Structure 1
């Protein structure tokens, strides 16, 4: 009992330390950014004409202020050291990123708010006591809301969760109806909030702590050029072209994945889906990749039987899952989700247009061999052309269904003519196969 009490007290102390440090850093950095921007003469605004029709709702200052209470309570509600660390690192990252943006790209709010009376007027007066019409994009208010919204959503259930969503929507709306922010600040704030959640995920390794360094220079360069192009168009054409900044952020993240982070950067979950924050960050890329997968495969069957209950195909649709009744799936696609699946789902994420490593060949072959006898097994990737085909080829070699690499490739190509095995992938498969033969590591099928 004493140990439990001691552990509780220690965690509580850590909570208050984090809360005090974050509060000090928040007010210090926020006020500094306000003061520094107020000394500059080149501060402009990004505002659309239609924003002049946004009404001023004095009562919305109440939900606007409520985020301060949510901020403190969230830190006090966490139940473990790990959850406390993740939440506070997200909040700290949000503050750092937003302050840097305020200093490098200063903006100001351009509407003049009339004098207000009553409780709303008092709350506005208190707010204006330390706030200025600067620190605009990305909206720190929205950034923190995204982080806190995701945190509280994991705690609330049933009707309370709906109440939470309604209140958070009111907070999001309040940054406009209190005349604190222009519209441009809102989506940029959402983006930074999602980025902070991506940076410090609830499960798995943080992207900045991954040391695998795949270094796919060519594809990293391709996506970096797409980032530069979309960013340049957004800045040059301005106005509604600013939505292309979403594409530029997405392409930059994908470029980083290919150069440094690997599949961890996509954060595909063990159920084959992505959390909401990751989905928002990568949505333009996900849509492009989904369209690409359908354009390349619309003349092909969704899946093809290779042998012994093992099927090869693209990421399945709901219709494919309903009609083919697979008992297990081996998914090698890092960049696309799969529909809800009730069978055995196994994820071995591999970046698009990259070969499987020796370890991934071994892992995929063993998983296929483990599940194919229990029912229909689908091995899939975005197109069902390369990554998934490689996995099945590895299985054919591991179980002696093929005596050599060329025979294994021919067996798969005979049933799905469109497969593509690159020269680099052939070398990796051959090296792995020689290791199997040398060590007599064949498995029983």
Structure 2
């Protein structure tokens, strides 16, 4: 019962912080009158897919699931600190660097999906774009849900990817919001690492550092390709290599790196 009370109180605290920060920044941006947008040139080819409103709206339900899924008080405090910090830092960007979504939504002919979009419009607006909290929170959810059993772990991973992608296909966010939301999430993970001295947790902290650098590299590649020359997009391969390093650390497979180093040294000594 005490654990349940702690989980509920943590959810209430987060909900209050989120409501105040998100609504205030929406109100502030709406009063500016002239809020700019940032759109990559190829984004016009991203399709509008009405049914993806379902995974988009499921982000709210994930909070209830995840808060109740966390068992230890230490993990609960860490998760709460992370999502509150994401909200506060995103709120600073919403206020000082506001952006708005620039494309008009097509007409939704399906009555169910249309009702869901109408519901969304009731509490959201075209502001509060970058960084995308939907994306940042999806990464935060995964830090908890990756502990599920194999089948449910896979289901959770696929659904969270759909949550992140739905920000584009519901015409709620531009691509820059996805990049900055990913960078925000991993910056917070690095800022608030898991407090455990086991090797696996140290490797997880190193992995988050690599993921942060990887997202920043890919984002830089897209910016350079957009404003200077398209060949800069090849910088994404460096980002992919950094992500692979992060994955090896995250899954405690650092030994593969050492084995590769030994093989390289052996071949050089021949």
Q: Could you state the TM-score of these two structures normalised by the residue count of structure 1?
A: 0.48
Looking at structure 2, the residues matched to 322 and 50 of structure 1 have their Cα atoms a distance apart, in angstroms, of: 41
SS at 2:175 equivalent: coil
Contact 1:58 1:178 in 2 (8 A): yes
Deviations 1:297-352 (CA, angstroms, capped at 9, x unpaired): xxxxxxxxxxxxxxxxxx8452516998xxxxxxxxxxxxxxxxxxxxxxxxxxxx
Counterpart selection for 2:135 from 131, 142, 155: 142
In 2, the alpha carbon distance for the partners of 1:272 and 1:178 equals 36
Question: Cα deviation per residue 1:68-105 (whole Å; 9 max; x = unaligned)?
Answer: 11111111111111011001111100100101110010
Point out the structure with max Rg over C-alpha. Answer: 1
CA deviations 1:268-287 (Å, max 9, x no partner) are 857767554322113479x7
Q: In structure 2, what is the Cα distance between the partners aligned to 1:120 and 1:38?
A: 26
- Aligned-pair CA distance for 1:42: 3.2
2:23 corresponds to: 31
- Alpha-carbon distance, 1:160 to partner: 2.2
Task: Answer yes or no: is 1:170 the counterpart of 2:101.
Answer: no
Indicate the residue corresponding to 1:52 in structure 2. Answer: 44
The answer (yes or no) to whether the contact 2:167–2:173 under 8 Å persists in 1 is: yes
* Residue pair 2:194, 2:205 contacting (<8 A) in 1 also: no
User: 2:208 — aligned with what?
Assistant: 277
2:182 aligns with one of 179, 190, 195: 190
Most deviating of 89-98 and 112-121: 112-121
> Is 1:113–1:179's contact at 8 Å kept on the other side of the alignment?
yes
Taking the TM superposition and a 5 Å limit, the aligned residue runs for 1:283-432 are 283=214, 316-318=258-260, 320=262
Structure 1 39/173 Cα, relative in aligned 2: closer, same or farther at 3 Å? same
In the TM superposition, what is the alpha-carbon distance from 1:167 to its structure 2 partner?
Answer: 1.0
Mapped partners of 2:86, 2:202: distance in 1: 28
Deviation by residue 1:34-74 (Cα, 9 ceiling, x = unmatched): 11100103310000121111111000000011111111111
2:58 is matched with 66
Change (3 A) 1:279 1:46: same
CA change 1:144–1:124 in 2 (3 A) is same
- Aligned-partner Cα distance in 2 for 1:142–1:321: 39
CA RMSD across the alignment: 2.8
Q: Which residue of 95, 119, 123 corresponds with 1:103?
A: 95
- In structure 2, stretches of 5+ residues that fail to align are 218-237, 242-256
Larger strand percent: 1
Find out whether 1:75 has 2:67 as its counterpart: yes
Question: Is the Cα contact below 8 Å between 1:268 and 1:274 reproduced in 2?
Answer: no
Distance 2:103 2:79 in 1: 34
Which of the pair has the greater relative contact order for Cα pairs under 8 Å at 6+ separation? 2
> Deviation digits for residues 217-246 of structure 1, max 9, x if unmatched?
xxxxxxxxxxxxxxxxxxxxxxxxxxxxxx
Describe the SS at the equivalent of 1:113.
coil
Shift of 1:22: 1.2
The total of aligned residue pairs comes to 229
d(CA) in 2 for partners of 1:273 and 1:28?
Answer: 32
Distance 1:273 1:35 in 2: 38
Q: 2:132–2:173: 8 Å Cα contact kept in structure 1? A: yes
Relative distance call for 1:316 and 1:153 in structure 2 (3 A) is: closer
After TM superposition, give the deviation of residue 18 of structure 1 in Å: 1.4
Helix, strand or coil: the match of 1:111?
coil
Matches of 2:165 and 2:94, distance apart in 1: 21
Aligned to 1:84: 76
